[in-house]
């Protein structure tokens, strides 16, 4: 498993909006959003705590948590196993993107996470791939007052955990017929 890199943001509003990461970089006119709201280390801890072997029904697998996030280009362009493992049963769960999406007037605020999963047999090519965005609504984040920051950051961590569970449920669901 690989956690993702730092938090990104997308903000939409009547006057400002559309600039990726405007909120987390402190751009004028955007709500102050702590860029370190859920860092790579926290993501790794939440992934470990989720007991993904049970959630994904991979009880015979051993979890190896990588400390660093993968560059998006590596995630999207690697046709074979990312880790050098000869194991005949091998799977990868990767957090690709973690975003705060804030639509000021229509849908509200969400923590969105893009997860990617690949399962391998003995061959170099994956036998199964699956990736999707999952999201959880936020109410307290981003905080508007300093005394709200602790609750807001806790909400982001809870939302990340909910997104892990939602992704696992989506992965376990039968594939849709085309």
- The DSSP 8-state label assigned to residue 57 in this structure reads T
Radius of gyration, alpha carbons of the chain: 17
| Per-residue confidence in pLDDT tens, the chain, 178 aa | 999 998 887 776 655 556 555 555 556 666 677 768 899 999 999 999 999 888 888 888 888 999 999 998 999 899 899 998 888 889 999 999 999 888 766 778 899 999 999 999 888 889 999 999 999 999 998 888 889 989 999 999 999 999 999 999 999 988 777 6
Task: Say if CB 109 and CB 83 are below 8 A apart.
Answer: no
Say how many C-beta atoms besides its own lie within 10 A of residue 25's C-beta. 13
Name the H helices within the chain: 40-49, 52-55, 72-77, 149-172
pLDDT score at 24? 58
CA distances from 108 to 10, 101, 135, 155 (A): 12, 8, 12, 15
Task: Say if CB 147 and CB 109 are below 8 A apart.
Answer: no
What predicted TM-score, i.e. pTM, was given to this entire model? Answer: 0.88
Of 127, 110, 109, the residue nearest 118 (C-alpha): 127
Task: Spell out a b/e string for 113-138, using b for 16 or more CB atoms within 10 Å of the CB, else e.
Answer: bbbbbbbbeeeeebeeebbebbbbeb
């Amino acid at each position: 498993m690989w956690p993702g890199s730092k938090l990104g943001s997308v903000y939409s509003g009547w006057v400002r909006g559309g600039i990726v990461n405007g909120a987390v970089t402190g751009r004028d006119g955007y709500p102050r959003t702590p860029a370190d709201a859920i860092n790579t280390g926290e993501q790794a801890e939440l992934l470990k705590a989720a007991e993904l072997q049970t959630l994904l029904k991979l009880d015979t697998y051993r979890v190896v948590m990588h400390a660093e996030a993968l560059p998006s280009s590596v995630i999207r362009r690697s046709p074979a196993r990312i880790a050098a493992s000869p194991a005949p049963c091998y799977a990868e769960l990767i957090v690709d993107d973690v975003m705060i999406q804030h639509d000021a007037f229509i849908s509200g605020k969400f923590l969105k996470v893009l997860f990617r999963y690949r399962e391998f047999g003995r061959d170099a090519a994956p036998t199964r791939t699956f990736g999707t965005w999952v999201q959880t609504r936020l109410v307290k984040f981003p905080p508007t007052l300093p005394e709200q920051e602790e609750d807001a950051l806790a909400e982001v961590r809870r939302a990340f955990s909910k997104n892990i569970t939602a992704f696992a449920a989506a992965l376990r669901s039968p594939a849709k017929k085309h």
